[in-house]
Chains A and B, each alone.
Chain A
Amino acid sequence: MINYFKEIILGLRTLAIGMRITFVRMFHHRVTLDYPHKTVTMTPRFRGHVILKVADAKPKCIVCMACQRACPSGCIKLDGEKREGAARKSLTSYTLNFTTCSLCGLCVESCAFDALEFSKKYNLTSMHKEDYQAIDLLQQAGGGK
């Protein structure tokens, strides 16, 4: 008989403790981020698709083709030309087929001139496959002409 009442008292006490916890939680700091309105900054090691690094408003790339050779999926295509008065070759096109890219990063590693890096872009959606079959990185880097 005494256990019967002990059980009731214990039950009521634990219920009260549970309700106190949830009540206190109502005034806690909110952890939700209003995603479309606010975004977090990406971590430094995040791998988005590669982009060309820019120095003096021109891509640092000298068209050595190392990244194209290093790419196991064959998704990088670039071309360049030797211009008058320039010491090195200049890029004329640099396209990335993002549909086959596996973000392995061999292109970034193979680049001896520090001209490639991972972007921090993660909002990549499209209704058309073509939008990612040939991303024009040269255009994204600011034309380069």
Chain B
Amino acid sequence: MYSLGDIVRLLLYLVGLIGFGAFNAAYLSLLERKQSAWMQLRRGPTEVGPWGLIQPVADGLKLLSKQILLPRDVNVPLFLLAPIMVVVPAIVSLVTIPFSETLVAHRYNLGLLMIFSFGAINIFALLIAGWASANKYASIGAVRVVAQNIAYEVPMLLVVIALVMVTSSFDLVEIVKQQGGGCWHWNLLKLGANPMMPASFLIFFICMLAETNRAPFDMVEAESELIAGAFTEYSGMGFGLFFIAEYVNILIGCSLATILFLGGWDCPFGLFPGPHWFLIKMYALCFTVVWVRWSFPRTQFYGLLNLSWKILIPLALVNLLLTAVMLKLVP
């Protein structure tokens, strides 16, 4: 079924993707620190390397050199399993992300579904981390992550279902191909298929922020209330893995938004399509994620759930119905 060449190619891609994920986790954390500094009229890290560019290496070395402490009442196997469970699905999800038409580790006709199913493991991992820590703050953080992720998975999937109805494919490469040839073909502006497309992009983006537990929805961490939430008892690289996974998840979320709504590797004005356009769009979205975090305060928990159940889900349902009606009416 698979030739040796396929397997070697897949392995090379996997190594490359792990490298890509780790590199991005490191430098998105630097971007986060730099950007937050700029927004607060500070300068951010400047001491390590030129303009602080080697700061992530210093951070990584610090985390690696620290001891992983095991508190007394901890459930040891689960406590150690959780960081692995949070980082592996994040890396695996990268496999089906197409950077260009040919630059994709494994083109899979259910790629979109696969990413969502692996994304769901993230919740389990955080729940396990919080529960195994035997710490009240960690437990509260774990309970919150479940409530929050269930609430936000619903509108996100409803929006994606509406999109899949338009594209009639789960294959990410196919979805991007349908959007080729300029920004007026992108799903974001495909108003003929569904006039609510921009709104559904907004819903997707908000849900993506909530799913990756980013501020203003970072109820899991909520450092002013829960110390570090589910990560309270983790030290050293145990914490480091959660940290990496958070940024890789942002990367995946932004990649998905790029692929589903912004035309993937397609150029907005029809010139030189290629992976560089994918990266430009993805990093622009990553920038926006950080921008949102440093603009708004954390919501309260009931506000968070209200937003989902009272606004996002009804709008997503209307969007779904509208798409169905438009599909019937517009041939």
Using a CB–CB distance below 8 Å, which chain A residues touch chain B? Answer: 8, 15, 18-19, 21-23, 25-26, 28-32, 34
**A28, A30, A31: most-surrounded residue (chain B CB, <10 A):** A30
Answer whether A25 and B40 are a contact pair too, CB < 8 Å, given A8-B311, A19-B291: yes
Which B residue sits closest to A24, measured CB to CB?
B39
Given A8-B311, A26-B35: A31 in contact with B295 (beta carbons within 8 A): no
Q: Which residues in B have some Cβ–Cβ distance to A below 8 Å?
A: 35, 38-43, 46, 291-292, 294-296, 311
Which B residue's beta carbon lies closest to that of A25? B39
- Contact B43–A21 (Cβ < 8 Å): no
The CA of A34 and the CA of B38, in the complex, are separated in Å by 15
Interface centre among B35, B39, B295, B311, by most chain A C-beta atoms within 10 angstroms, is B295
> What are 30 of the A-B contact pairs (CB < 8 Å)?
A8-B311, A15-B295, A15-B296, A18-B295, A18-B296, A19-B291, A19-B292, A21-B295, A22-B39, A22-B291, A22-B294, A22-B295, A23-B39, A23-B291, A25-B40, A25-B41, A26-B35, A26-B38, A26-B39, A28-B41, A29-B41, A30-B41, A30-B43, A31-B41, A31-B42, A32-B41, A32-B42, A32-B43, A34-B43, A34-B46
Minimum CB–CB distance for A107 against chain B, Å: 41
Interface of B is mostly: loop
Q: A29 to B296, alpha carbons, bound, how many Å? A: 22
Interchain nearest-CB distance for B4 vs A (Å)? 50
CB neighbours of A21 from chain B (8 A): 295
Number of A-B contacts (CB under 8 A): 34
Q: How far is the CA of A20 from the CA of B95 in the complex (A)?
A: 36
Nearest first, the 3 A-B pairs at minimum CB distance are A26-B38, A22-B295, A22-B39
Q: Which residues of B contact A18 (CB under 8 A)?
A: 295-296
Q: Closest A residue to B216 by CB, please name it.
A: A15
Which residues does chain A contribute within 8 Å of B291, judged by CB atoms? 19, 22-23
A99 nearest CB across to chain B (Å) = 33
Q: Give the shortest distance, in Å, between B156 (CB) and chain A (any CB).
A: 18
- Whether B38 and A25, one on each chain, are in contact in the complex, defined by CB atoms closer than 8 angstroms, is yes
Q: Are A30 and B42 in contact (CB under 8 A)?
A: yes
Minimum CB–CB distance for A61 against chain B, Å: 44
Q: Chain A: which residue is nearest B296 at the CB level?
A: A18
B303 CB, min distance to chain A CBs, angstroms: 11
How many whole Å from B24's CB to the nearest CB in chain A?
21
**A28 to B41 alpha-carbon distance, docked (Å):** 7
A19 adjacent to B42 (CB under 8 Å): no
Q: Return chain B residues, CB-CB under 8 Å to A31.
A: 41-42
Shortest Cβ distance from A19 into B: residue: B295
Within the complex, the shortest CB–CB distance from A39 to chain B, in Å, comes to 16
CB distance from A2 to the nearest CB of B (A): 15
Known: A15-B295, A22-B294, A26-B38; 4 extra A-B contacts, CB below 8 A, are A23-B291, A25-B38, A32-B41, A34-B43
- What chain B residues lie within 8 Å of A26 (beta carbons)? 35, 38-39
Instruction: Please name all residues of chain A whose beta carbon is closer than 8 Å to the beta carbon of B311 when the two chains form the complex.
Output: 8
List the A side residues contacting B39 at CB < 8 Å: 22-23, 25-26
Closest partner residue, chain B, to A21 (CB atom): B295
Complex CA gap A21/B291 in Å reads: 11
Bound state CA distance, A32 and B46, in angstroms? 11
- Nearest-neighbour CB distance to chain A for B29, whole angstroms, equals 18
CB distance from A29 to the nearest CB of B (A): 7
